[in-house]
Amino acid sequence: SFDWRTYHTLDEIYSWLRSLSDVYPDHVTIVNGGQSFEGRDILGVKISYTPNNHRHTIFIEANIHAREWITSAVATFIINQLLGNTDPEIRYLAENYDWYIFPVFNPDGFVYSHTTNRLWRKTRQPYSILCVGADPNRNWPYQWMQGGASSFPCSDIYAGPSPLSEPSTLSMSNFINSLGYQIEAYLSIHSFSQMLLLPYGYTTDHLDNYEEMKIIGEQAAYDLSRRYGTQYVVGNTAETIYIATGGSMDWVKHEYEVPVAYTYELRDTGEFGFLLPAEQIIPTGLETMDSIVSIFKSYEILH
Ligand code: 0X9
Ligand code: ZN
């Protein structure tokens, strides 16, 4: 049965997601966000304790980069916490927001990273005889190809021939459009580096509600560190990691004026990198959940 002591395949993750709607029929709906190039479904869950009353929505995507296995493990961990943890702060979050959580945004790449090349990053749509895939986090329509992205199909940061050229990003953008301004928070989960990144990736300017996001992010990083001492750096994406354009968070933030938008870079800082040992899934999940509780506690106090 499903657990967080080991990494799971796409089929195992999807079977577990489907089982949740049987175990929690009143609170969990399986949602199909669309299809990948190779025809796989992009499955997520909607968690809602008030099915007919649209609440502020928290959207979480993970594993848009195939090799970042810890991210889907943490996304399923968060789903499990929202459904099963009796801690009052977690119950409050679970029951007062609508949640959409997609553990594997890039299913073709994820399967390929399991079967063939553990360090695969991109999608699996072929672009030349030799080179396959676009970077699905350079493929979104806001500031597309304006820096930190490549027009060379063999590059790991190939932006694709046009915005939303990848069936997975196109279908997920349509799904996000259907939620639109209901989205109050968008969390994009990556690894690794232990960073909490704020919009935007195209400029080092502190735009929109940067100051508030920075304060909330610093508190979240502190609350995350209280469990095991894990240190996160918080800041604007372009300043803190590098210039990167065409990312999903930037598009959603800009398109729907999403007040709470963060990109996580989970553990570690490079000792294991993308090959984070499975023994670290549960601790990473617990500390990440602490930071999510912190973000919404701070946001509610400030609003
Ligand atoms: O380069 C990326 O896409 C992310 N880092 S990773 O090492 N996981 O590949 C950073 C994404 C931040 N991007 C934007 N907000 N634009
Ligand atoms: Zn990534």
Rounded CA gap, 108 and 126, in Å?
12
- Check residue 63 and give its pLDDT: 99
271 is catalytic: no
| Token representation of residue 102 | 């997609």
Which ligand is located closest to the Cα atom of residue 137? 1
Rounded CA gap, 163 and 144, in Å?
7
Rounded CA gap, 234 and 10, in Å?
31
Instruction: For residue 245, report the distance from its CA to the centre of ligand 1, in Å.
Output: 9
Percent of the chain at pLDDT > 90 equals: 98
User: Residue 91: which pLDDT band, with cuts at 50, 70 and 90?
Assistant: very high
What's the half-sphere exposure (Cβ side, CA atoms, 13 Å) at 6? 7
Instruction: For residue 244, report the distance from its CA to the centre of ligand 1, in Å.
Output: 7
User: Residue 52: which pLDDT band, with cuts at 50, 70 and 90?
Assistant: confident
CATH superfamily of the 10-302 domain: Zn peptidases (3.40.630.10)
- Check residue 50 and give its pLDDT: 86
Identity of the residue numbered 106: N
Instruction: For residue 139, report the distance from its CA to the centre of ligand 1, in Å.
Output: 12
- Check residue 41 and give its pLDDT: 98
Ligand 1, from 263, 268, 275: best to mutate by most atoms within 8 Å of Cβ? 263
Within 10 A of 150 (CB to CB), how many other CB atoms are there?
Answer: 15
Q: Quick one: DSSP state of residue 64?
A: S
- Check residue 210 and give its pLDDT: 98
pLDDT tens, position by position, 169-222: 999 999 999 999 999 999 999 999 999 999 999 999 999 999 999 999 999 999
pLDDT tens, position by position, 239-274: 999 999 999 999 999 999 999 999 999 999 999 999
- Asked if residue 250 has its Cβ within 6 Å of ligand 1, the reply is yes
Contact 163, 185 (CB under 8 A): no
Strands in 233-236's sheet, in edge-to-edge order, are 28-35, 41-47, 98-102, 57-62, 183-191, 260-266, 195-198, 233-236
- Check residue 55 and give its pLDDT: 82
- Check residue 101 and give its pLDDT: 99
Average pLDDT, the chain: 98
Which residues are placed with Cβ below 5 angstroms of ligand 2, an ion?
65, 190
User: Residue 53: which pLDDT band, with cuts at 50, 70 and 90?
Assistant: confident
pLDDT tens, position by position, 183-194: 999 999 999 999
Identity of the residue numbered 78: I
> Which atom, in ligand 1's list, is nearest to the CA of 201?
16
Q: How many residues does the chain have?
A: 303
- Check residue 277 and give its pLDDT: 99
Whole-complex ipTM? 0.96
- Check residue 255 and give its pLDDT: 98
Percent of the chain at pLDDT > 70 equals: 100
Which ligand is located closest to the Cα atom of residue 265? 1
pLDDT tens, position by position, 73-85: 999 999 999 999 9
Instruction: For residue 25, report the distance from its CA to the centre of ligand 2, in Å.
Output: 33
Query: For residue 51, is pLDDT > 80?
Result: no
Query: For residue 22, is pLDDT > 90?
Result: yes
Q: Given the residues 61, 265, 271, 279, select the one marked as catalytic.
A: 265
- Asked if residue 67 has its Cβ within 6 Å of ligand 1, the reply is no
129's CB contacts (< 8 A; 6+ apart) are none
154's CB contacts (< 8 A; 6+ apart) are 128, 130, 131
> Which atom, in ligand 1's list, is nearest to the CA of 148?
1
Ligand 1, from 113, 190, 268: best to mutate by most atoms within 8 Å of Cβ? 190
Nearest CA, atom 1, ligand 1: 244
Rounded CA gap, 241 and 155, in Å?
19
